[in-house]
Structure 1
Amino acid sequence: MPRFLLLFISGLLALSAGAQAPTPPPQGDVFVDAKGVLRWQKTKREVALFGVNYTAPFAYSYRATAAVGTSHEQGIDQDVYHLSRMGVDAFRLHVWDIEITDTLGNLQQNEHLRLLDYLISKLKARGIKIILTPIAYWGNAYPEPKNTGPGFSSIYDKGVAYTNPRAIKAQENYLGQFLNHRNQYTGLLNRQDPDIIAFEVCNEPHYHLPLAPVKEFANRLVAAMRATAYQKPIFYNIAESPTVHDAILDANVQGLTFQWYPEGLVARHELKGNFLPYVDQYPLPYKGDARFERRAKMVYEFESADVLQPIMYPFVAKSLREAGFQWATQFAYDPLAIAAYNTEYQTHYLNLAYTPAKAVSTLIASKVFHEVKRGQSFGRYPADSVFGAALVSYRRQLSQWNAPTEFYYSANTIDKPVKPAALRHVGGVGSSGVVQYGGSGAYFLDQLAPGVWRLEVMPDAVLIRDPFETPSLKKPVTQISWADQPLTIALADLGPSFALKGLNDGNTAQAQASGGRLTVRPGAYLLTRAGQNSAAYTAQSPMGAIRLGEFVAPPATALPAHVRHQPVAQASAGQPLVISATVAGVGPADSVLLVARHYYGPTRTLPMQRTGTTTVAATVPTALTYPGLLRYWVVVKKAGQPARTFPGSQAGSPADWDYYDAAHWEVPLVPTTAPLPLFVAATDRGSVEAQGISQGAYIDYPTTAAGAPALRLVVAPPKANPAAPAAPATGPAASLRTYLGLKTAGRAADLASFKELVIKGQTNQVAATQLRVVLVTRDAVAYAATVPLTANVSEVHVPLSALQPAPLLLSPRPYPGFLPLTYSPTNRPALRLADVEVLQVVLDAPTSLTEQLRVDVESVTLQ
């Protein structure tokens, strides 16, 4: 046999055994250098891109958009425009292969694929770069019950997709066809499109040992992609199946992908409290491994799930840049057409119109991601709350970007621009030293030339329900209001007498500012300094990737008035009680009244005063706050309409003789010495975060022998495995976390008098079981004490003086599982109850366990 033929055959055998093929020379629009840095091909500069996932062409988003009567193309146009306004320059999507393939992996030329082509063309027009994950493995049902897609993922799930020969062949077939698909709007093959800078092979695969089939599968799919002549980087997920990470590190890929869900997912209610320590760092588990270091790193999905606070994303961006990531995309941006309901993924909520403060924080996060150097550290929280031009404050609920030419903020700020005369871009929610605005929507000011600016104002958004509860297209969670709002601009470049002219379709507004002040409605405007010629600027004039006259906003919500309010758990008797509420659909000329009654005692009707764009408040006098039960209602009176009473939106007023609706709010008025319950299992189940953390641990809510509901923390003994004896358990097994805002707000004056915690509960063990009870301050400093529970229901008294500084358990547990589970601040001041806002109860994993451990907690009380 000729020598060259022997060499050829031996080479084939080596490849079939999984040997790594030579890395092709870097070509295309980006490449990964020898040190694992993703670089632009032409300039050799590092890539840094930040953005979102967005799913409009597929699955529920596709169906729901049609259900609300919006055309898919119109929806995509609207959303991509908003993304460009938010500073997004990265888009990632796991393509629902189930909707565009058959069972053999043949690409189907259907509506879903056409809309993906359309979306790509629109993203390109805005300068947004793209990474696609062709294989999702997902069904297309969620959140609905039944899959309807005909593709190969309808018969092969993740568990067999990498071992079943037919499944592998279908995926190879599909990848080749998908990369060679010609976009019907751009005319480009997917593999040749310069704005599709890379591909991730498959979404969140599920693998198990042994390693060889995993590596072989990854290499086969990569080979199928390379067979199309595709030469740009290929990424592969390494975070989802960590037990086989060596197989991925040995595979023929140029990049590795991770995700980040720092507070878990699907709490089914809004999470409150200081979660900045949860996003303070992202330590990578494979650092130092040469195979890892030579690969580029990407976070394909991240989200501060169930959190509305507009402060999380800039911290995420900072921490990911410190870890070395060059791409990060939030999951997932809510399409405008259905964002009023938050039905697509209830644990996520991000949209420029409906969550304006979070959207502005996304813009700031994008600035952070681009400006912070890869690997740059600013220390640990709270020392890193100011980094570069960024500031993030939990207490102020503020994200801010304050650079010489840019000033952005997610809430009212008292900070001054670092160089007011150099400002070219301003945007935010609320007011600053540059802009005083009376609305709750976002706005943007961009200089076009000296003395000429573009103003964009979004309508007001009013949250009327918890957006993270069970969603429905029948249940809006945010209302939109178009209203005239006062606006004052203090820019020296515009002066106090600038002219305003409407730019967007149908906007004929013209006005002259006096002292920098005028009134505006949502829209796009041209602002011109007195005496400045602006004739060159029209609605069609470009400004970067947008036109001056472009404007997208949802119409005003056609819903009746709405009042949102949550009563405090208790209030101090004999003290004035402030009751506040959020109102929607209530105009300046409408009146809002508080009707307060001391059970069957005296009644007062009090006018509620405006405290913000959408908030009102009234103070119940001490004549009604003697010990007992205070019941109250909020009455909205609109001109020419019957009064409506909340809760319940019932016609009429509680003062009417025939007012029959029993719905009301109430608060117990208690003496200053009364105990203050912090957690009661019977009433708090739906508003706490309780979870098993270690393997075999879970949560339940049984009743005790006396019939009282209790939170049960359950730990199962390890499964016997003679071949691999289990290591002794360490760390937390299960935990409870509850935010105390409504528990303590009404008793703030009494907090200093409390001396101890009382924990009521029991265990099923003969020997006492040790719990940890933890109080956490708004600055995320934790103080803990050990609580012994016995087999009999008992009340254990723990002096507050016994609580000592301790690491904070990051619960709900961060994902992926290699992320830190605790946070330890460097500064730990003495415990003050006035600073406490979170209670945790933690069950640590026993060092040895032969039977199931059950710990029942009925209540935790301050007294």
Structure 2
Amino acid sequence: MLRWQKGKQEVALFGVNYTTPFAHAYRAHQRLGVPHEKAIAQDVYHLSRLGVDAFRVHVWDVEITDTVGNLQDNEHLRLLDFLVNQLKQRGIKIILTPIAYWNNGYPEKDTGTGFSSIYSKTQAYTNPRAIAAQERYLTQFLNHRNPYTKQLNREDPDIIALEVCNEPKYNKPEAQITSFANRMAQAIRATGCRKPVFYNVSENPDVYEAVLNAKVDGLTYQWYPQGLVSGHALRGNFLPYVDQYPIPYRQDPRFTSRAKMVYEFESADIIQPVMYPFMARSFREAGFQWATQFAYDPLAMADANTEYQTHYLNLAYTPAKALSLLIAGKVFRNVKRGQQFGRYPQDSVFSDFRVSYRQGLSEMNTPEEFYYTTSTATAPKQVARLRHLAGVGSSAVVRYGGTGAYFLDRLASGVWRLEVMPDAVPIRDPFEKASLSKPVTQILWNEQPLRISLAELGQNFSLKGLNEGNTAQGQAREGSLSVRPGVYLLAAAGKSTATFTTQTTFNHIKLGEFVAPAPTDLGPQALHAAPAQVAASQPLRLTATLTGLAPADSVFLVAQHYYGRTRTLPMTSPRYATVEATVPADLLYAGQPALLDSAA
């Protein structure tokens, strides 16, 4: 078990993988003309905003070593050092996996020239030269001094552990595997490093005993329960897939005596914001103390989802899914290690959490915190005691007309910080073949209506812009006003805010910090997912996403059969960027499929 030295409490950390210093993400930022340091600082701010307190990455050793394992002092290593320093400033703990075992090409050609460019995964633990290169590299990597933190990697208190290697590939006999794992662990400890050493056991289930027999402190696992790279968004309820994390040998003393981490997990090809909280709960039930999603999309390239098309997670571009990660982190830290639960669907409500596939809703509701991924009818437990709120859509406390995420944090009695992200509108399937030139989500900066119902703010609270360039000032009427993306200081009538400035620190962030992508210059965009099947003689409700409408525009649905009459139906807009209409039953008769089109 991992415990903090101070206080001896059990460790429970939850977060993400993130890869901007390396491989495709590094090259993409170059092509886009985005400075890597700026990108990293912005993304780490968003991670902090989402409550992330754990970071893991498999270091692309192929980009920072030569073929014999010597560490190369280059741009990739410097950016990793910069990233580590940024994470430390936000209070985010780190586990590094020094050896990745693959080249840097995906989805382009390989260009790395380190030892992983000449040795395969199976050679890595059998070839004496490959083994020596890895020992040399681990020694130099741990003795590397970060120029930003001034600390050696092996001494940095925020790098809390090391996972030796990422997803090795083994064959029998098992003794050779155990020997290799012991040599790598010994190479780490020989530097004087006293951090826990973890080793991957889940990638080679047929030889798991080889790792259980190794002299390591912890075991590492991953979870991609419905597979990877479907090439399209998956539809349907996948919550039963993540209802439990099974480990066949969970009673084995060699398993129970080791700390356990999930180095990667994801609900691949699923955009619904309901999977992460269930996964987090299943991890805790199975005894894990660390879990990091793979992988958080860098802001600069998240509009196209090119880093790994089967994954898609970013606060600005997938706001509901990002808030489900925030809620999942709360699940992971609040559910006890080994706590048992019923099985789906009886466990859809547990502790302070609720997950609903039908509503597309993940939710946390405590007296002090209220988070939700879509509009909810749930009443906060104790509004008067609320300190933190975040959501997409509307609730009893906040009614908001936009599609981006928003955050409300109490700074003092009658004084709150409001952060509003721009509107994010999907325009393509994010999981189809990706390209930097093919945006999948549109960002729009709109002025949207907002109503806040907090007794201590009252009906006539003031609003003042905090972020750079935001000069907005206003006063609510009956709790309502309009806002554009940005950060604001809200104060009840008569409350002084003189002690709060843009530089005031609050929960690892400064009050004036704000990061958001520029508007996407694409013009009007439409997206409609056709129903797979329609019942004859039954009315049909059709919904589409549509942007670029002027206030005076009207939208119509043209319902036409291959043979037969055509009818033009007016469409309504129940919320921003959404239009819908009902095709009457008399137009839905058996025969040739109807041809449906829309016009604005």
Q: Same fold (TM over 0.5)?
A: yes
Give per-residue Cα distances to partners, 1:606-635, cap 9 Å, x unaligned: 332102212101234466545544323222
**Match of residue 52 from structure 1:** 16
Query: Displacement of 1:565 after TM fit?
Result: 1.3
- CA gap 1:289/1:577 in 2 versus in 1, 3 angstroms: closer
- CA gap 1:234/1:569 in 2 versus in 1, 3 angstroms: closer
Give per-residue Cα distances to partners, 1:84-122, cap 9 Å, x unaligned: 011100000000000000000000011100000000000
Give per-residue Cα distances to partners, 1:746-796, cap 9 Å, x unaligned: xxxxxxxxxxxxxxxxxxxxxxxxxxxxxxxxxxxxxxxxxxxxxxxxxxx
**Match of residue 408 from structure 1:** 371
Are positions 1:204 and 2:182 aligned together? no
Query: Displacement of 1:580 after TM fit?
Result: 2.1
Give per-residue Cα distances to partners, 1:703-752, cap 9 Å, x unaligned: xxxxxxxxxxxxxxxxxxxxxxxxxxxxxxxxxxxxxxxxxxxxxxxxxx
Q: Distance in 1 between matches of 2:539 and 2:569?
A: 13
SS at match of 1:487: strand
Q: Distance in 2 between matches of 1:569 and 1:426?
A: 37
- CA gap 1:290/1:447 in 2 versus in 1, 3 angstroms: same
Q: What amino acid is the match of 1:364? A: I
Q: Distance in 1 between matches of 2:71 and 2:298?
A: 26
- CA gap 1:555/1:227 in 2 versus in 1, 3 angstroms: same
SS at match of 1:322: helix
Query: Displacement of 1:397 after TM fit?
Result: 1.3
Does the Cα contact within 8 Å between 1:464 and 1:584 map onto a contact in 2?
A: no
Give per-residue Cα distances to partners, 1:400-421, cap 9 Å, x unaligned: 1001100000111111111111
Are positions 1:116 and 2:80 aligned together? yes
Q: What amino acid is the match of 1:318? A: R
- CA gap 1:566/1:386 in 2 versus in 1, 3 angstroms: closer
SS at match of 2:329: helix
**Match of residue 306 from structure 1:** 269
Are positions 1:127 and 2:87 aligned together? no
Query: Displacement of 1:593 after TM fit?
Result: 2.5
Give per-residue Cα distances to partners, 1:110-147, cap 9 Å, x unaligned: 11000000000000000000000000001101112x21
Q: Distance in 1 between matches of 2:129 and 2:553?
A: 67
Does the Cα contact within 8 Å between 1:481 and 1:585 map onto a contact in 2?
A: no
**Match of residue 68 from structure 1:** 32
**Match of residue 84 from structure 1:** 48
Does the Cα contact within 8 Å between 1:274 and 1:394 map onto a contact in 2?
A: yes
Query: Displacement of 1:360 after TM fit?
Result: 0.5
- CA gap 1:465/1:416 in 2 versus in 1, 3 angstroms: same
Query: Displacement of 1:193 after TM fit?
Result: 0.4
Out of 454, 462, 478, the position equivalent to 1:499 is 462
- CA gap 1:597/1:160 in 2 versus in 1, 3 angstroms: same
**Match of residue 31 from structure 1:** none
Pairing 1:181-330 to 2, within 5 Å after superposition: 181-330=144-293
SS at match of 2:347: helix
Give per-residue Cα distances to partners, 1:803-836, cap 9 Å, x unaligned: xxxxxxxxxxxxxxxxxxxxxxxxxxxxxxxxxx
- CA gap 1:575/1:241 in 2 versus in 1, 3 angstroms: closer
Query: Displacement of 1:462 after TM fit?
Result: 0.6
Give per-residue Cα distances to partners, 1:634-673, cap 9 Å, x unaligned: 223xxxxxxxxxxxxxxxxxxxxxxxxxxxxxxxxxxxxx
SS at match of 1:357: helix
Q: What amino acid is the match of 2:99? A: I
Q: What amino acid is the match of 1:563? A: A
SS at match of 1:610: strand
Out of 462, 468, 471, the position equivalent to 2:434 is 471
- CA gap 1:200/1:632 in 2 versus in 1, 3 angstroms: same
Query: Displacement of 1:578 after TM fit?
Result: 3.2
Query: Displacement of 1:267 after TM fit?
Result: 1.0
Q: Distance in 2 between matches of 1:286 and 1:399?
A: 32
Structure 1 residues 391-400 or 601-610, which shifts more? 601-610
**Match of residue 5 from structure 1:** none
Pairing 1:307-706 to 2, within 5 Å after superposition: 307-599=270-562, 601-621=564-584, 624-627=587-590, 628-636=592-600
SS at match of 2:419: strand
Query: Displacement of 1:395 after TM fit?
Result: 1.7
Q: What amino acid is the match of 2:246? A: P
Q: What amino acid is the match of 2:341? A: F
- CA gap 1:280/1:620 in 2 versus in 1, 3 angstroms: closer
Does the Cα contact within 8 Å between 1:559 and 1:585 map onto a contact in 2?
A: no
SS at match of 1:591: coil
Out of 105, 109, 121, the position equivalent to 2:69 is 105
Q: Distance in 1 between matches of 2:533 and 2:167?
A: 46
SS at match of 1:384: coil
**Match of residue 136 from structure 1:** 100
Q: Distance in 1 between matches of 2:217 and 2:236?
A: 39
Give per-residue Cα distances to partners, 1:56-92, cap 9 Å, x unaligned: 1000011111112211111101110000011100000
Q: Distance in 1 between matches of 2:584 and 2:97?
A: 61
SS at match of 1:344: coil
**Match of residue 159 from structure 1:** 122
**Match of residue 735 from structure 1:** none
Does the Cα contact within 8 Å between 1:592 and 1:607 map onto a contact in 2?
A: yes
- CA gap 1:208/1:629 in 2 versus in 1, 3 angstroms: closer
- CA gap 1:382/1:625 in 2 versus in 1, 3 angstroms: closer
Q: Distance in 2 between matches of 1:622 and 1:319?
A: 44
Higher strand share: 1
Q: Distance in 2 between matches of 1:589 and 1:295?
A: 64
Query: Displacement of 1:576 after TM fit?
Result: 4.1
Does the Cα contact within 8 Å between 1:598 and 1:625 map onto a contact in 2?
A: no
Pairing 1:680-829 to 2, within 5 Å after superposition: none
- CA gap 1:507/1:573 in 2 versus in 1, 3 angstroms: same
SS at match of 1:611: strand
Higher relative contact order (CA 8 A, sep 6+): 2
- CA gap 1:303/1:572 in 2 versus in 1, 3 angstroms: closer
Q: Which runs of 5+ in 1 are unaligned?
A: 1-36, 637-863
Q: Distance in 2 between matches of 1:307 and 1:521?
A: 29
Q: Distance in 1 between matches of 2:429 and 2:532?
A: 18
Q: What amino acid is the match of 2:433? A: T
Query: Displacement of 1:320 after TM fit?
Result: 0.5
Structure-2-length-normalised TM-score: 0.98
Q: Distance in 1 between matches of 2:581 and 2:131?
A: 66
SS at match of 1:257: strand
Q: Aligned residues, how many?
A: 599
Give per-residue Cα distances to partners, 1:355-381, cap 9 Å, x unaligned: 000110101000111111111112211
